[in-house]
Chain A
Amino acid sequence: MLNWFPENVSTFGGEVDGIFWLIFYITTVWFFITEGLIVYFAFRYRRKPGEKAAYVLGNTTAELAWILVPLAIVVVLDLWIDIRGAAVWANIKGERPAADITVRAMGKQFNWEFTYPGPDGKFGTEDDLKIDNDLHVPVGKVVHVVLTSKDVIHSFFLPHARLKQDVVPGREIPAWFQISKPGEYEIPCAELCGFGHSGMNGKLYALSTEDYEKWVKEKWPPEK
């Protein structure tokens, strides 16, 4: 299909895209049926001299069947979309797989502040590592992000991973992702957060395990 989306680089992104295409095919068929009928009827039944319109009230069962049968199909398709969608939703936003690494991300006007637990593996200790806007993660590992906000609502958006989660002050909101391809990807804020909203943009560095280890050695505070 056409290149409508940014390249997908997360393990669950394909499932989101899959539901999108499912809905796309269903709605495309309905689009052509309904719009096609409008255009066809408009052309076929345009006013002609001496021809009167049919007096059809659409109040008998036989006439209403023309509506009710397609309507039943709509109901079935709706449920299909819902059921397929529920599984994908549960996978992304419901139960999270166990974390390989956990990072805290705080939205603040107009930056992302990422916190790593440091060598002791615990947050809130002296060896925590804080970095503005740059998030380094290993490819193929389950990354948990604990989202908080210092001021207003932001939204943590990883377009290439098909992940978005609002960040609400006063709450800790969990999110997770697993990147499947090394590279640099952007982390824009997707919720209007003030005059600097446009341009609030972090960067995700998805590194191979070795590169990630190297980065940890270089940047993390030494173990005490």
Chain B
Amino acid sequence: MSEELGYWRSRVFSTDHKVIAKQYLSLGLFWALMGGATAYLIRWQIAHPDTEAPGWGFIAPDFYNMLVTMHGTIMVFFVAMPILLAAFGNFLIPLMIGAKDMAFPRLNMLSFWVFFLASVVLMASFFVPGGAAAAGWTGYPPLSAKMEYTGVGWGMNLWLLALALEFASFLLGGVNFLTTAMNMRAPGLTWFRLPVIVWMQLTAAVIFMLSVGPLIAGAVMLLMDRLIGTTFFLPEGGGEPLLWQHLFWFFGHPEVYVILLPGLGIVVDVISVFSRKPVFAYRPIIYSTIVAGFMSFIVWAHHQFISGIDPRLAMPFSITTIIISVPFAFVIFSIIATLWRASITFSAAMLFALGSLGVFIFGGLTGIFNGSAPVDIYIHDTYFVVAHFHYTLFSVVFFGSFAGLYFWFPKMFGRMMNEALGKIHFWLTFIFFNAVFIPMHLVGLRGMMRRIANPMQYEFLKPLEPLNMFITLSAILLLVSQVVFVINFFMSLARGKAAERNPWQANTLEWTTDSPPPHGNFAAVPSVYRGPYEYSSPESAEDWLPQDRPLTASRTAVR
């Protein structure tokens, strides 16, 4: 089929979910370069304030504010979302459920091109007079609501527009994910035979769709405040700055789980495959993530303990926040239990999955400090918070995505990645990541505030200079380490060993078709006989048992 479509329809304006997934992946990786570049400039300025950053030049305070704003925006909305949700979700959901494509292939194409448009708009915002948005990735008004406060004009409007487009894109994608998984599962593939990653993608899509509405409304209100003189968030016209914070975080906290769950799903799947062992407590893991997903709607004000909300409101939110650790603790304990009595192979994918788990636990534990309202009085808006959320987000967005890429690369591109380079990439990333972010907690505990361009302007922060220099050096090394991945990625793409159908001897359906799968995915619709994690099952002589392999006994496909 694809042969007849020609270059444009098969490679650019394609409706094939696999091509769309790769498009999201490419754009997400491109934005990751931008995110890394902004991180480099931010770190340079903090460690060596008001000196020329090699390869760039001086970083003025207003430019610095733009850097921190765009770093957050890019990493959350233009790297994490397109890679974890859109790329992996698009690629894996149809293949894992035995479907030919998404339920709405054209809608799928539209969602990518809307996201592409969002990317163009965000990129354009760097080049308009006044520069890109500089009010923080959270865009708190009144700072974000009036040009006179930041000097940023169209940059801020385009920022809002880019976010609105991106949300529209992911709403389209979410509808597609859910419809596809509900209606197009292969015969025998019941809900509780779905891989955990599919469950997590679906839960993430539901959380996203339920939470994003208020923020879209908020974005429109903020745009109106800026463009036509309304005062929704401006007190001089009777508006309320805190309203934006509620709308933003009502979305913003669930959004954390929208990013987290797909990453966690990758970790669960990869760990099961390379442990040759079923996922421990498969069903309760799914229940736990759904519970955590819904709890994520009642924790948002923990971002606002000291924002001026009624202090009596803090404790209820502090309690829900700390209690949300329970379902996640369940998932984490279960993943650890999966390793118990396993038979573990340390592939690059497995190393990244284990690294993701280890790093995420650290971030989850430091979250307890932030969730405690009295401790938050002191650490709010300090580098402790920055260090904390990099542990939670970097673990899934980078360690998780790398685990997924090393694991599914053969299926995506039909070639194997270089394992040795992959392992070097892991160790460099793991070491330098911790070298950046462990000391960053200490910097935060000494009181260093977020988003200040020059800590040397403060007497009490001056002693932190050597520590900040160490962090910056480690951050540069962390960035440089990613060159190993880039080389491996492109070399494997061009000259990697041809991948067989199932190089990891995994059970799920995507491994039963060619690498890469043809247009339409499967030669014949597979029938499913069991759950996705029947590794080392006594029913099989080997240590794996694919979902679609009938056993000779009277077991037949359900439905």
Q: Decide if A34 is an interface residue (CB 8 Å cutoff).
A: yes
| Known contacts A59-B281, A155-B306, A168-B242; A74 and B325 CB within 8 A of each other | yes
Which chain A residue lies CB-closest to B66?
A195
- C-alpha gap A69/B62 in the complex (Å): 52
- C-alpha gap A42/B323 in the complex (Å): 29
- A:71-108 near B, CB below 8 Å: 71, 74-75, 78, 81-82, 85-86, 88-90, 92-94
| Chief secondary structure at chain B's binding surface | helix
Q: Decide if B88 is an interface residue (CB 8 Å cutoff).
A: no
Instruction: Please provide the 5 A-B residue pairs with the shortest distance between their CB atoms, ordered closest to farther.
Output: A170-B235, A58-B280, A159-B447, A54-B341, A58-B281
| Known contacts A20-B375, A82-B318, A186-B460; A58 and B334 CB within 8 A of each other | yes
**Cβ distance B389 to chain A, nearest Cβ, rounded Å:** 16
- C-alpha gap A166/B304 in the complex (Å): 9
Residues of A within 8 A of B552 (CB): none
- C-alpha gap A19/B369 in the complex (Å): 9
Query: Is the pair B277, A54 in contact by a Cβ cutoff of 8 Å?
Result: yes
Interchain CB contact (< 8 A) of A41 among B283, B322, B339, B361: B339
Q: Decide if B229 is an interface residue (CB 8 Å cutoff).
A: no
- Interface segment out of the listed A113-121, A124-132, A197-205, A207-215: A197-205
- B:329-386 near A, CB below 8 Å: 329-330, 332-334, 336-346, 354, 357-358, 361-362, 365-366, 368-369, 372-375, 377-378, 380-382
Query: Is the pair B358, A35 in contact by a Cβ cutoff of 8 Å?
Result: yes
Query: Is the pair A30, B365 in contact by a Cβ cutoff of 8 Å?
Result: yes
- B:245-291 near A, CB below 8 Å: 275-284
Interchain CB contact (< 8 A) of B342 among A41, A159, A164: A41
Q: Mark B302-332, 1 if CB is under 8 A from A, else 0.
A: 0000111001101100110011011001101
| Chief secondary structure at chain A's binding surface | mixed
- A:115-163 near B, CB below 8 Å: 151-153, 155, 157, 159-160, 162-163
Query: Is the pair B445, A192 in contact by a Cβ cutoff of 8 Å?
Result: no
Residues of A within 8 A of B68 (CB): 192
Query: Is the pair A164, B381 in contact by a Cβ cutoff of 8 Å?
Result: yes
| Known contacts A6-B447, A55-B537, A166-B308; A188 and B61 CB within 8 A of each other | no
In the complex, number of A-B residue pairs with CB atoms less than 8 Å apart: 288
Tally of chain A residues near chain B (CB < 8 A): 85
Which interface residue of A71, A188, A192 has the most chain B CB atoms within 10 A? A192
- C-alpha gap A67/B331 in the complex (Å): 9
Which chain A residue lies CB-closest to B327?
A71
- Interface segment out of the listed B15-23, B29-37, B449-457: B449-457
| Known contacts A47-B345, A153-B143, A188-B458; A170 and B241 CB within 8 A of each other | yes
Binding site for A on B (CB under 8 A): 60-62, 64-65, 68, 134-136, 140, 142-143, 149-151, 235-236, 239-242, 275-284, 306-308, 311-312, 314-315, 318-319, 322-323, 325-326, 329-330, 332-334, 336-346, 354, 357-358, 361-362, 365-366, 368-369, 372-375, 377-378, 380-382, 442, 445-447, 449-454, 457-460, 535-538, 543
Q: Mark A42-56, 1 if CB is under 8 A from B, else 0.
A: 100111100111111
Binding site for B on A (CB under 8 A): 4-6, 15-16, 19-20, 23-24, 26-27, 30-31, 34-35, 37-38, 41-42, 45-48, 51-59, 63-64, 66-67, 70-71, 74-75, 78, 81-82, 85-86, 88-90, 92-94, 109, 151-153, 155, 157, 159-160, 162-171, 173, 185-186, 188-199, 201
**Cβ distance A87 to chain B, nearest Cβ, rounded Å:** 9
- C-alpha gap A23/B337 in the complex (Å): 25
